[in-house]
Amino acid sequence: MSKVNRRKAIKNLSLGIGAIGLGSTVMAQSVSESISDSFQDNLKGNINHSVCRWCYQNIPLEKFTEKSKDIGIKAIDLLKPEEWKIVTEQGLRCSLATDTFASITNGFNDPKNHSELQIKYQNLISKASNSGIKQVIVFSGNRNGISEEEGWENCAKGLDPLVKHAEKNDVTLIMELLNSKVDHKDYQCDHTPWGVHLVDKIGSTSFKLLYDIYHMQIMEGDIIATINKYKDYIAHYHTGGVPGRHEINHTQELNYPAIMKAIVSNGFKGYVAQEFIPTYENSLEALKEGITICDV
């Protein structure tokens, strides 16, 4: 073989191998997309799936948003203003807004916090409204010796101007129910009836509750009966395995498919956000499993 022909043959062989490699890459991408599409197509659509960002902080937000979208998640919870655009540009929503000043321990049950919280929350509500975000999280704060009655009264006074601002901006403030036994010692809004009483006291459709299934199983149990009774007070749900706040599969005590069926039967149209701390080496597989379990 002449040198010229040899070089031509090697070039043609290289091009052929490159084409095969490119074809394999395209095929792998196509298979991956097909699997993602197939998973989404199999979702029943009765639950608006969301996920809490903080449980997956080790994954860059851009990548996390992309992967979440692949498994049928529609929104991401507990995002700060600088994160909203990253998520919305990929076609998802921020289902629950927060910011660094939002404090679980120093909340609206203490009048000392009102002035600062009102200024900062008013700004956050306006930003959320301008970005098409419908929900902003608030907290009662720790008791620190404050009685139940004082807590209700103080929260109502501190939240009143913000609820009115939220009404004008088509935003709902939601107070999270948290356990005070394990994770948030001394937190005041730690039972559903306490939160319900506050909702009634405020008396606005722009103020409701975030019912965290994990937290309320620890504090009071009786999950399905409680959400059936107080369905009109609840604007948002969080998940988590009990005990441990890990995956929501057979390793923990709650029957999540039954809980989700109760939520659906109540006509709930808001978001159910996964808020468990994954233990799987591949945390996204744990998230996908959670979505599958909750998709009823």
CA-wise closest residue to 217 among 236, 194, 191: 191
**CA separation for the pair 24, 33 (Å, rounded):** 14
Q: Which are the contacts of 29, defined by CB distance < 8 A and separation ≥ 6?
A: none
Residue 35 has pLDDT above 60, yes or no: no
Element (H, E) at 96: strand 93-97
| Mean pLDDT confidence for 91-119 | 98
Please report where in the chains the tokens 């995956």 appear, as a residue. 247
- In 60-190, where does DSSP find H-type helix? 61-70, 81-88, 114-130, 148-168
Predicted confidence at residue 41, as pLDDT, reads 78
| Mean pLDDT confidence for 120-132 | 98
| pLDDT one-digit tens code per residue, 131-171 | 999 999 999 999 999 999 999 999 999 999 999 999 999 99
Q: Which are the contacts of 268, defined by CB distance < 8 A and separation ≥ 6?
A: 231, 234, 237
**CA separation for the pair 234, 207 (Å, rounded):** 10
Predicted confidence at residue 39, as pLDDT, reads 73
pLDDT category at 40 given cuts 50, 70, 90 is confident
Contact between 191 and 177 (Cβ < 8 Å): yes
Least confident of 39-43, 99-103, 116-120, 174-178: 39-43
| pLDDT one-digit tens code per residue, 203-241 | 999 999 999 999 999 999 999 999 999 999 999 999 999
SS3 50: strand
| Percent of the chain clearing pLDDT 90 (strictly above) | 86
Predicted confidence at residue 233, as pLDDT, reads 98
Contact between 268 and 246 (Cβ < 8 Å): no
Average pLDDT of the chain to the nearest whole number: 91
| pLDDT one-digit tens code per residue, 245-272 | 999 999 999 999 999 999 999 999 999 9
Residue predicted with more confidence, 29 or 91: 91
